[in-house]
Amino acid sequence: MAGHGHPYSPAELVLPGFVPQRLSQGQILTPAMPSSPSSAPGSSPIPIDDCMRFAGRCGGGRLSRSDRLLMGWWVFIALTYIVFESPFLFTPDFLSKENPNYFDDFFKEYSKGDSRFAARNTAVLALEVVTIGLEGPASLLAAYAIASRKSYSHTLQFAVSLGQLYGRLLYFITAYLDGFFWVSPFYFWAYFIGSNSSWVIIATLIATRSWKKISAAFQAEKVKTR
């Protein structure tokens, strides 16, 4: 199969059998927005609103509002890692499938901001293995720890948040070393920078909060033992 010409950068990137995405940009991005029902056939993006409602029901009146929000966030990112990103890792032929599903088209669209996904760059694949295999389950455990008020809750949240920050740092550094490959400045700022910056900001806030909680607990224990 000769395939079609691809829209990615660099133009000389070889993608055998490339099949253009069938869904428009709006059809791909709209289902991923909060409170938006999925209109793409065969897809089920992770709605953050449902994760927050689930956290509220599980937490009941025992948890503070901030803990319920954190629990919802951890459930959301766990499902995003495990359900949403797994198809990229386990579908190496997503660019050439004759009948692509939502996730195939999603990563075709995102590759316009970082063509390393289209090329299945080894650094990107390695980061996805860690994200899906370790950070996904750890995020679910963090949600459980909050709901159950486990003593390790803040330690785990701090560790997973540091892992997220480390992963994003490696993602940006390897992109710089490999050379930034995007179709236009819009895709660079909207996809590469925009979609990743929220994870950096929230992970930083959670790590800072957990660090303060851990430090306060140690300080209180130190005062008691005097």
- Write down the pLDDT at residue 37: 37
Which amino acid does the sequence have at 88?
F
Q: Calculate the CA dihedral of residues 52, 23, 186, 47 and round it to 10 degrees.
A: 0
Per-domain boundaries in the chain: 25-224
Q: What are phi and psi of 169, to 5 degrees?
A: -60, -45
Give the model confidence (pLDDT) of 168-215 as tens digits: 999 999 999 998 899 999 999 999 999 999 899 999 999 999 999 999
pLDDT at 38: 35
Orientation of helix 195-224 relative to helix 153-178, angle to 10°: 140
Burial of 54 (0-12, 13-18, 19+ CB in 10 A): middle
Could you read off the pLDDT tens digit of each residue along the chain, which spans 226 residues?
Answer: 445 689 999 999 999 999 999 999 998 887 655 543 333 333 345 666 666 666 666 655 678 889 989 999 999 999 999 988 999 999 999 999 999 999 999 999 999 999 999 999 999 999 999 999 999 999 999 999 999 999 999 999 999 999 999 999 999 999 999 988 999 999 999 999 999 998 999 999 999 999 999 999 888 877 777 6
Query: What string of DSSP letters covers 121-174?
Result: -HHHHHHHHHIIIIIHHHHHHHHHHHHHT-TTHHHHHHHHHHHHHHHHHHHHHH
pLDDT for 222 equals 77
